[in-house]
Amino acid sequence: MFPSQFTSAIIAVFTAIIGFYVTTVIEEIRSGSAVIYSVEKKHGEAVLFLKNASRDGALQDLHVGMSCADFSEQRTCFPTPPTEREVSITKFAPVAGEVAAPNSTPLSLEFRATLVAGASIKVTVAANSENSSDLLFVYFPQTKVSSSTNHDITLVDAIIGALQRPSTDEETPVFLRRGSITALFVEYYFSIMALVMIVTSILLLASLGWWTYDSISQAFKPPEKPESEPQKFVVDLSVSGRKPSL
């Protein structure tokens, strides 16, 4: 068991590292435009999952899709007959996203999604069982990113907007693969923060309890009797070497 001062120091260092990672990396990602995605083959189907993990940014016409890592005209990614490539869209409550213009071909699937902050969707299409290569997530960079914060424009805002040079650059979302450490922190930000606070509180209470128990046990512990030092005796065994005088 570590002494109480070492335990407190370890807890402080751990909390500081987590706080730095969250306040710098995670908050920087969440304050911009963050998209969590996953592509997988499951039960003969190709599944693409998307979630807007931004703090308050909305994604409009997010042009994405999926394809296979290895495909050809003879070894397509999806079934060739159009009737077997029907696209299924799943929306998740309470915030649902919108999917427009799904286009499925034997080689790829692409569509446009509009996702407000927190919205997620799942797009499913039949996969070609003869093609066992991995799925690839495809992004077409024509996305429009806007803030979902609505407020009345004041005279100052109008003057500042008129003086600023119009920007033609469009913000590119940050894509995070679902299941990675950063994606877990971004997707479950509030849950992880609550868990860290609970764990830290438990460790602090455990350290305080151990320190209290140690202090009480030391206070009621009977004083130890000092050990008596062993007595030392010196015996002179030297023999005089003088001869008796005549």
- What percent helix, strand, coil does the chain show, rounded to 5? 30, 30, 40
Q: In Å, how far are 18, 20, 40, 87 from 25, measured between CA atoms?
A: 10, 8, 27, 36
**CATH code that applies to domain 35-149+160-180:** 2.60.40
Q: Do the Cβ atoms of 96 and 50 come closer than 8 Å?
A: no
Count Cα atoms within 13 angstroms, Cβ side, for 213. Answer: 8
As given in the structure block, the two tokens for residue 199 are 């764990």
Domains of the chain, by residue range, sit at: 35-149+160-180
pLDDT (tens, 9 = 90+) of the chain, 246 residues, equals: 445 566 667 777 777 777 777 777 777 787 778 899 999 988 888 999 999 988 877 888 889 999 888 877 677 888 888 777 888 888 887 777 888 888 888 888 899 999 988 899 999 998 888 888 888 999 987 555 554 444 455 555 555 555 555 444 456 788 999 988 888 888 887 787 788 788 878 877 887 888 788 788 877 777 766 666 666 666 666 655 555 555
Amino acid making up residue 88: S
Q: Which residues contact 108 (CB under 8 A, 6 or more apart)?
A: 65, 66, 67, 77, 78, 138
